[in-house]
A = this chain, B = another copy of it.
């Protein structure tokens, strides 16, 4: 068997496993968008059988044989072949290193833990949830030991979502970010315009859902989300699902928060345009997969924040927005609108956070995860550690666990090492944006004309077309010419929010 033949067969098997994964993904989308309330158990049974089938495809011993053949010194692979084999090896090892019994037990534990978390959050009862969370932590430790017994636990967990990422690297980046962000946030919050922004936001009322839906479809289409290869539905929690020619966004509407559905949809459309932009012929291999959670988040954040909170975007879409909601927006001046689309108002709840303080929520969670898996923080001590960090970073103390350690689903669902990608995504977005401003100084004028195609084309060429050939850090280096740094995020936030709230003075 020639190298080309072996690579072709490996590609076929990898793509087959990926296709089964997309079927599981569709079941998940359908569960959140369409599932009749009485069908949860039936859907769980479908997901369980699909998980078995997907695992069998991923752990197919034929994949192992082909990998051994292609990894041999004489195989003579080109760069694409090397990337395909490296990713296939990673997936195959992940599938084969975890014993089937462990995978099943972990899935059962996480399903139970999810429901226990939902009940505990409702009851604001951390003590009752603590033993369940401790079991989740234990399962995560054991999983890390199976996957890579030689590496520190938390590094293995980070690596699941962003290959190659280490706690030390994140700690350095987040430390620098935190140092600059906390004073910026404090200065803004103390400014008179921050009070004005809160007042304006509270005054938004009665934006009919149907017109909101029409507007955000117009916007996301114009930005470049292709509705011939995707759709938009309503779900309790917004998300993006699918890849290639079938990418599905969801949103939710609130009549008194018209920017929530809009910016949320632009965010999901950012994820969606990334998935639609991956090389179609290579879906499922390293040439056609996304580059991990942090890069994914950079694509959503760039469109949501750098683009859709900026002047060019609103220069173009503002008149249409006012046309759809004439009475609701009559009292809003252009200056008011700039504040409304870029508020700064620290809150205890991450998913309600503004663009500036959001990052501090992630710093907090990373810090706690690192200590939890480093061994110097016990599960029982989480609420107190949370409270202390929350006061330190946000200036706010949770009144109960529902505002603190129980607020997010992640730990309840067994997801550890996932949070950092949110903030890394913000850093990457800002660093890409900084590069964009260099190569396309007139980008805001593009937007003001309603032309978002240049930006999408640039992202297609530099990010989407690369697939998963590189890690997040390598990709950032290749595209921007420098190592990932929080400097660009801080500079961007200082520029946008400093000029909005602090009269242009840098803080």
**A229 lies within 8 A of chain B by Cβ:** yes
What is the CB-to-nearest-CB distance from A445 to chain B, in angstroms, rounded to a whole number?
32
Near B by CB (< 8 A), chain A positions 4-53 give 16, 19-20, 22-23, 26-27, 30, 34-39, 41-43, 45-46, 49-50, 53
A45: chain B residues at CB < 8 Å are 19
Q: Are A36 and B244 in contact (CB under 8 A)?
A: no
A30: chain B residues at CB < 8 Å are 26, 30
Q: Are B50 and A23 in contact (CB under 8 A)?
A: yes
A229 to B27, CA, bound (A): 16
| Given A38-B228, A228-B36; A53-B20 close (CB under 8 Å) | yes
A19 to B38, CA, bound (A): 17
Which of B38, B46, B228, B230 is A23 in contact with, Cβ under 8 Å? B46
**A462 lies within 8 A of chain B by Cβ:** no
A19: chain B residues at CB < 8 Å are 45-46, 49
Task: Tell me which of A16, A37, A39 has the highest count of chain B C-beta atoms within 10 A of its own C-beta.
Answer: A39
**A458 lies within 8 A of chain B by Cβ:** no
What is the CB-to-nearest-CB distance from A354 to chain B, in angstroms, rounded to a whole number?
33
A246: chain B residues at CB < 8 Å are 35-36, 38-39, 42-43
**A102 lies within 8 A of chain B by Cβ:** no
A45 to B34, CA, bound (A): 23
**A231 lies within 8 A of chain B by Cβ:** yes
A interface SS class: helix
**A454 lies within 8 A of chain B by Cβ:** no
Kindly supply a per-residue 1/0 record for chain A positions 411-422, scoring 1 wherever the CB is within 8 Å of any chain B CB and 0 otherwise: 000000000000
Query: A17's closest neighbor in chain B, by CB?
Result: B49
A39: chain B residues at CB < 8 Å are 229, 244-246
What is the CB-to-nearest-CB distance from A271 to chain B, in angstroms, rounded to a whole number?
16
What is the CB-to-nearest-CB distance from A209 to chain B, in angstroms, rounded to a whole number?
15
A20: chain B residues at CB < 8 Å are 49-50, 53
A245: chain B residues at CB < 8 Å are 36, 38-39, 41-42
Q: Are B16 and A23 in contact (CB under 8 A)?
A: no
A19 to B27, CA, bound (A): 13
A315 to B252, CA, bound (A): 41
Kindly supply a per-residue 1/0 record for chain A positions 225-243, scoring 1 wherever the CB is within 8 Å of any chain B CB and 0 otherwise: 0111111000000000000
Query: A22's closest neighbor in chain B, by CB?
Result: B46
Q: Are B36 and A227 in contact (CB under 8 A)?
A: yes
What is the CB-to-nearest-CB distance from A1 to chain B, in angstroms, rounded to a whole number?
22
A226 to B41, CA, bound (A): 16
A483 to B352, CA, bound (A): 68
What is the CB-to-nearest-CB distance from A242 to chain B, in angstroms, rounded to a whole number?
9
A150 to B41, CA, bound (A): 43
Q: Are A231 and B42 in contact (CB under 8 A)?
A: no
A244: chain B residues at CB < 8 Å are 39, 42
A487 to B72, CA, bound (A): 76
| Given A43-B246, A49-B16; A229-B36 close (CB under 8 Å) | yes
A231: chain B residues at CB < 8 Å are 34, 36
What is the CB-to-nearest-CB distance from A19 to chain B, in angstroms, rounded to a whole number?
5
A229 to B43, CA, bound (A): 12
A226: chain B residues at CB < 8 Å are 38
Query: A23's closest neighbor in chain B, by CB?
Result: B46
Query: A15's closest neighbor in chain B, by CB?
Result: B45
What is the CB-to-nearest-CB distance from A368 to chain B, in angstroms, rounded to a whole number?
38
A34: chain B residues at CB < 8 Å are 231
Near B by CB (< 8 A), chain A positions 49-76 give 49-50, 53
A27 to B244, CA, bound (A): 17
A34 to B16, CA, bound (A): 23
Query: A45's closest neighbor in chain B, by CB?
Result: B19
What is the CB-to-nearest-CB distance from A357 to chain B, in angstroms, rounded to a whole number?
37
A22: chain B residues at CB < 8 Å are 42, 46
Query: A233's closest neighbor in chain B, by CB?
Result: B34
Near B by CB (< 8 A), chain A positions 195-227 give 226-227
Query: A228's closest neighbor in chain B, by CB?
Result: B38
Known: A19-B45, A26-B46, A39-B245. 11 other contacts (CB 8 A): A19-B46, A19-B49, A22-B42, A23-B23, A26-B26, A26-B27, A36-B230, A38-B229, A42-B244, A42-B245, A42-B246
Measured CB to CB, the residues of A under 8 A from B are 16, 19-20, 22-23, 26-27, 30, 34-39, 41-43, 45-46, 49-50, 53, 226-231, 244-246
Task: Give 15 A-B contacts (CB < 8 Å), ordered by A residue.
Answer: A19-B45, A19-B46, A19-B49, A22-B42, A23-B27, A23-B49, A26-B26, A26-B30, A26-B46, A34-B231, A37-B228, A38-B245, A41-B245, A42-B245, A42-B246
The list of the 7 closest CB pairs from A to B, nearest first, reads A39-B246, A38-B229, A39-B245, A38-B228, A42-B245, A19-B49, A38-B245
